[in-house]
Amino acid sequence: MDVKIKTALISVSDKTGVADFAQTLAEMGVKIISTGGTAKALAEAGVDVTPIENVTGFPEMMDGRVKTLHPKIHGGLLALRDKADHKAAMKQHGIEPIDLVCVNLYPFEQTVAKPGCKFEEAIENIDIGGPSMIRSAAKNHKFVAVVTSPDQYDKVIEQMRKNNGSVNEDLRGELARAAFALTAVYDAAISRYLNKKADVDFPERLSIPLKKEMFLRYGENPHQPAAFYKLAASGEPCVGAGKIMQADTEISFNNLLDSNAAFELVKEFDEPAAVIIKHLNPCGCAIDDDICVAYRKAYEGDVTSAFGGIVAVNRKVNIELAQTIMESYSRFGKSLGAEGFFAEVIIAPQFDPEAIEIIRTLKSWGSRVRLVETGAIDKNKIDGGEFDLRCIVGGVLIQKRDLVGWEPKLLTVPTKTKPTDEQLADLRVAWLAAKHTKSNAIVLAKGRKIVGIGAGQMNRVQSGFIAVKHAGEQAKGSVMASDAFFPFPDNVDNAAQAGIVAIAQPGGSKKDNEVIAAADKYGIAMVFTGKRHFKH
């Protein structure tokens, strides 16, 4: 069934395009009812507007808190026009039908995201009348079209022009679905803010406000459709809030997972750092005073695994760094036995325009690489209230993010041999990389770069063997980090055989004394961090 649009109620906070929308409706013979600031804006644009108080018989009151909460508004929205008693009630009480509602909501999320937002300001930006009208119109979409976003204006106008001023059932249903999704996300954002304000981490009921940002190329596998949904911006520089620059190939589910893993690791470092991720595990990680040197060290950590990896740096990509990344194979990799190199994604706080041009044109694969620009890294903007979610069939596991890093003041050294400053610098790199490596994780570092990683094994000894084998000759004189404690001295015995000189691990095992004794036996320095970093 088509619905002829004769009367529209327009009340919006985001006034983008609303004057043109209202003027076009008016030119098509639609009566425009409006409120407060919207009515003023439309009148100034030359639109013939009926003020809301002329319909309700009541003025706006209580600083605008009460203006649309009236039977003549909600009766006009909710009445079933094919039902005799509804029509009779409308006639008896002088209620006119409203065929289209155009409402978007007070900017609550934007308001609470502002630095220094006061509680009173947040409360005043909780919309009541808007969601009420949206829900009334959406419930009765059999007879009412509900428009909740400026990007819907053209679609509505186009159909009305083609359909003699009417909106068909399919479009009204589509608009209603979008409307209920909007109010659900809006209420979820308010709930989240109030819970955070009251220091309630895990409320009895939890809604997470998400908005679809894009369809993805595919999910973990090509037969799985996927999309990326975005949380409200908290101000934290991250992949989720980053700008994804257009490339010849769309970004996929796996690309975003790996990109997030790469950038969250590179954010751990204040000094210039580079990370290369493959299948959620770092295959390269290094720091240096020079970002180009840091990248080279990270790439050289595993030139084979770097092929098709995700590159993240915590400095701007300039011309020199762009050339270094794009020429990884010819400059360094070929001599180390690499078969070639390309990157799926490059993530950085910023890209110089000239650097983008080099990336896009220097190599044939440059037009396909996705570039993600996050903005400057500011650790003061890290959102400690954001949840880490894992899905299981039939439910969701929720925990707070693991934001514990390298904490020098909390380190203890139980061994007779103490680590040198150089070894501590390497232990820091290894420990932070282990935090971002799938358990059981063993990471070897030397010269402030990763030289060997064992990840995701069912036992820690096997992870140690893999890390040492990967490091080869570089294992001698390197340091080791373990994401969890050693339950037995076996990993220390194996480390000694490989020539490892220092170890960082949480401590806390029942057999810590045996593990420490083994380290003392071999003259290995051992550091207890006191924190575990399982990453399943």
Active site (catalytic) residues: 139, 279
Nearest to 288 by CA among 116, 429, 133, 102: 429
DSSP category for residue 409: G
Task: Tell me the C-alpha distance between 456 and 438, whole Å.
Answer: 5
Inter-CA distances, 294 with 109, 324, 394, 466, Å? 38, 11, 44, 24
Q: CA angle, corner 445, sides to 444 and 447, nearest 5?
A: 160
Question: 177 CB contacts (<8 Å, ≥6 apart)?
Answer: none
How many Cβ atoms are within 10 Å of 223's Cβ, its own excluded?
A: 7
H/E stretch holding 85 reads: helix 84-93
Task: Tell me the C-alpha distance between 444 and 433, whole Å.
Answer: 9
Q: Which residue in this structure is represented by tokens 């139980």?
A: 414
Task: Tell me the C-alpha distance between 29 and 7, whole Å.
Answer: 9
Q: CA angle, corner 332, sides to 330 and 338, nearest 5?
A: 80
Tokens of 39: 């009515």
DSSP string over 419-476? PPHHHHHHHHHHHHHHHTSPSS-EEEESSSBEEEEE-S-SSHHHHHHHHHHHHGGGGT
Tokens of 236: 């934290």
Task: Tell me the C-alpha distance between 285 and 323, whole Å.
Answer: 19
Q: Which residue in this structure is represented by tokens 């009420």?
A: 132
Q: CA angle, corner 125, sides to 119 and 131, nearest 5?
A: 135
Handedness of CA 9, 15, 16, 19 (dihedral sign): positive
The answer to whether 52 and 77 are in contact (CB under 8 A) is no
The answer to whether 467 and 498 are in contact (CB under 8 A) is no
Amino acid type, 214: M
